[in-house]
Chains A and B, each alone.
Chain A
């Protein structure tokens, strides 16, 4: 796992959420899938968009937009699934679009800028300044934990 002070993962699976460029260490990513039919789970935490059938395994799908406190996905746009493994469980993170797998050997992980919304900081363990964008490195264990989503008072997004 990458932390701001820890060892840098070599490769990142990158994806886009609300125009932001995120990366997840490839060790955590099991696979990437296009949109799968979701079964809604009433009474579940907001970030849980539903359940998908991943070859017979039941996987919880979390909406990263919601988890990050970002505005909801425009109607009609179907999310992609980034299937991650975290603490022995497989969880799907729903993202807008999938990017490349990126080598980050020479880059140094930098602390998350302090003015990012607290909901984003909660999930992001650091940033990698690339030439044409800034990659926000996601901590998989934090991202799949919906029990302690901080109050998104500092976000501009609608609830």
Chain B
């Protein structure tokens, strides 16, 4: 109920604003009756009011606007031309809409009999039918201005003369309305033409307090002004921090009790001011949601779906600019849910569900973020279908696919150029889909996740910060400077020392990686990312900030971790715009400038993005430029595997090797990992054992794992490799010169096939 009242209030405010615009548009239209742009604008306004009134069950309002819309659409489509009659009727319709809105505002219903909806509908119908309103033409001005004996219950309600009566009263033809010189004032009332002035008159005359409705309870403020305020408050907060530092009792440089008290008061006031100012920019998400019933209704109709729309959390507020940026993506997600998610009623019934699908929108605040969930109980997303489409479209390679979790596969639909709609409808499936949604959400610092169960439905969760201007961030230190990492990118902090450090961090060919709960994360040292050299921290403790951006998760090694604080994001100059590592700058409590790191930018700059999710590489001729893992086998011989085929690197002590039939296996992650020794598999003698452990490259294929035993990993190279047929033999595709040395290119499939075949047989 409360929600409803709120929606109605929003509807009223919005509609009043729209009507003011409409008045201006209509007047302008009389001057340029051919302007399609104006007609479209007017049409849209009426259309919007109609849509919402339908949703809110204001039947008379809907009826009225429906007829108005008819007339307008004829005009817009040039099936009718603008005439005085038409203009008159349109203006009258607008006035009546206004009267109905006022009636709704005071009595919450639109059934007030004093509002002559039916008369106007009749008039609209007559104009539509091409009948003249009156042989004497429409004597507008006098008519409306003429005092109406009937007392209107709402003071601002325009007197409601029926046009026929008016015509009788005044035989004088209406003057051409426009030639009067008018001040082109930006406000809505003064620049309306005489007709409307007359109409608007009663409003101006009344007691100002009588009409202190929803429209007047708020003030429209230029958004630049608000932005300016936010800026200033940001400064104030920083200055306050500086003062607090100096008056802090523990470090007190002064024992001026008055000053300390004043500083505390300043602290309080500044905090409250900050909160209030931020709130001025906050708007409830209901603003976007109020449009959803209509969108859903139309789409459902168009797509032949039955949908029950449920919405929760209308009053969840977020920053205005974010709300604006969210409209598009949310609408898109709703469309997707209807088009791809919910099945047609017949299919649903066949699947044992109720015919009407459920679309559930929910918004709430969670740990300083706004979470918006869009869920449906439709068919869900089938990872296999996605996977097949992704491979077919070259979004990923088969090897990459083999190593992906179902959740990662579902996330593929966010990749550019991806659409699985079997049939391109006019609603969705034109290939500009989820990637755009994700990009626009990430642009405002948010993230989007999909969870889906085949046959049961899909949940799309969008997280966005409350505001863009002030964000929580982790402050880290490096090279004497401090840098801020937005909290949104932060996953966890890991500190490693001594034995843990040696165990968790492997250096593969100079590239450090971190084993974190079974996952390999690339490690990037912040100082290196910032163009310095990697710090010489052999054995010393290592602080890793695990960050996530653009689907890539990696560890950022930093020298120090300070604290988490709210920072005011400020732009940086154009001289620095080209540097990908920075998202902006901020000012710390001590007045110094700190840079805000752009985690996604760092990932791109360090070419990490290719480590997990490579774009399909361009291959020309027989030049294969994929990254290779270069290994040593058979005491000094070199062999190479495509890096994409490697899911993990492990070391096992010799006593862990067990036998299963003729095969060597180790117990590995709750399963059995069959081993294949690479040297014999590619026709080389095995090297004598020198250590008490073996190095293993774990390869995964369709859920089956194979461990490939090697001597050691030499390097990861990303150079173009020209394979030759030299040295081709079972298990070897050929040789190539890698880093100036002849290297066997391992035919992975041939090497693992016997093992996998055995595993499959064993599985059956």
Task: Please say whether chains A and B are actual partners in one complex.
Answer: yes
A56 engages B587 (CB within 8 Å): yes
Which residues of chain B are within 8 angstroms of A144 by Cβ–Cβ distance?
A: 575
List of A residues within 8 angstroms of B186 by Cβ: none
A62 on the B face (CB < 8 A): yes
Beyond A48-B575, A144-B575: 18 further Cβ-contacts under 8 Å? A40-B481, A41-B576, A42-B479, A42-B530, A42-B581, A44-B575, A44-B576, A44-B579, A50-B593, A51-B593, A56-B238, A56-B587, A58-B570, A58-B587, A58-B593, A60-B572, A89-B573, A146-B575
Identity of the chain A residue whose Cβ is nearest the Cβ of B235 in the assembled complex = A56
Binary CB contact string for chain B from 570 to 589 against chain A (1 if under 8 A, 0 otherwise): 11111110110110010100
Inter-subunit contact B582/A41 (CB<8 Å) = yes
Q: Is the CB of A51 within 8 A of B585?
A: yes
Do B575 and A39 touch across chains, with their CB atoms under 8 A apart?
A: no
A28-42 vs B, Cβ < 8 Å mask (1 yes, 0 no): 000000000101111
Q: How many residues of B contact A (CB 8 A)?
A: 27
Given contacts A53-B592, A56-B234, contact A45 B481 (CB under 8 A): no
Most chain B CB neighbours (cut-off 10 Å) among A37, A58, A144, A147:
A58
Q: Which residue among A39, A47, A62, A147 has the maximum number of chain B CB atoms within 10 Å of its CB?
A: A39
- Whether the Cβ atoms of B575 and A58 lie closer than 8 Å is no
Residues of A near B595 (CB, < 8 A) are 39, 41, 51
With a cutoff of 8 Å between Cβ atoms, the chain A residues found around residue B479 in the complex are: 40, 42
Residues of B within 8 A of A39 (CB): 481, 585, 592-595
How far apart are A92's CB and chain B's nearest CB, in angstroms? Answer: 10
- Does B531 have its Cβ within 8 Å of any Cβ on chain A? yes
A55 vs B574: C-alpha distance in the bound complex, in angstroms? Answer: 19
Q: What are 20 A-B residue pairs whose CB atoms fall within 8 Å in the complex?
A: A39-B585, A40-B479, A41-B595, A42-B581, A44-B575, A50-B593, A51-B585, A51-B595, A53-B591, A55-B235, A56-B238, A56-B587, A57-B570, A58-B570, A58-B585, A58-B587, A60-B573, A62-B575, A147-B575, A147-B578
Cβ-neighbour of B531 out of A37, A42, A147 (below 8 A): A42
Neighbouring A residues of B235 by C-beta, 8 Å: 55-56
B575 touches A45 (CB 8 A): yes
Return the 6 tightest CB-CB contacts between A and B, nearest first. A42-B530, A60-B573, A56-B235, A39-B593, A51-B593, A43-B531
The reply to whether A60 and B576 form a contact with Cβ atoms under 8 Å apart is yes
A62: which B residues are within 8 A, CB to CB? Answer: 575
B231 neighbours in A (Cβ, 8 Å):
56
Q: Closest chain B residue to A88 by CB distance?
A: B574
A26 to chain B, nearest CB (A): 22
Closest-by-CB residue of B relative to A48 is B575
Q: In the assembled complex, how far is the CB of residue B224 from the closest CB belonging to chain A, in whole angstroms? A: 15
Interface residue? A52 (CB, 8 A): yes
Q: Does A91 lie at the interface of the complex (its beta carbon under 8 Å from any beta carbon of B)?
A: yes
User: Which size bracket describes the interface of A in this complex?
Assistant: 20 to 34
Q: Is the CB of A91 within 8 A of B591?
A: no
Q: Is the CB of A89 within 8 A of B574?
A: yes
The distance in angstroms between the C-alpha atoms of A105 and B280, with both chains bound, is: 51
A59 at the interface (CB under 8 A from B): yes
Per the 8 Å Cβ criterion, residues 345-367 of B in contact with A are: none
| B179 contacts partner chain A, Cβ-Cβ < 8 Å | no
- Least Cβ distance of A149 to chain B in Å? 11
Q: Is A58 a contact of B481 with CB atoms below 8 Å?
A: no
Instruction: Kindly state the separation between the CA atoms of A48 and B676 in the bound complex, as whole angstroms.
Output: 56
Nearest residue in A to B570 (C-beta to C-beta)?
A58
For the complex, give the distance between the alpha carbons of A147 and B574 in Å. 10
> Which residues in A have their C-beta under 8 angstroms from that of B592?
37, 39, 53
B573 near A59: Cβ-Cβ < 8 Å: yes
B573's nearest neighbour on chain A, judged by CB, is: A60
CA distance A43 to B595 in the complex (A): 12
Residue B532 CB within 8 A of the other chain: yes
Chain A residue, CB-CB nearest to B582 = A41
A50 contacts which chain B residues (CB < 8 A)? 593
Q: A89 to B573, alpha carbons, bound, how many Å?
A: 7
CB-CB contacts below 8 Å: A11-25 with B:
none
Chain A residues contacting B575 (CB-CB under 8 Å) are 44-45, 47-48, 60, 62, 91, 144, 146-147
Supposing A56-B238, A56-B587, A58-B585 touch, asked if A51 and B530 sit within 8 A by C-beta, the answer is no
Contacts of A37 in B (CB 8 A): 592
Shortest C-beta distance, B296 to chain A (Å), equals 44
Q: Restricting to A61-91, which residues have a CB under 8 Å from any CB of B? A: 62, 89, 91
Task: Tell me the complex Cα distance, A144–B578, Å.
Answer: 15
In the bound complex, residues from chain B placing their C-beta under 8 Å from that of A48 are 575-576
Bound-state Cα–Cα, A37 to B480, Å: 13
Most buried by B among A41, A47, A60: A41
Of the candidates A45, A51, A56, the one whose C-beta lies within 8 Å of that of B572 is: A51
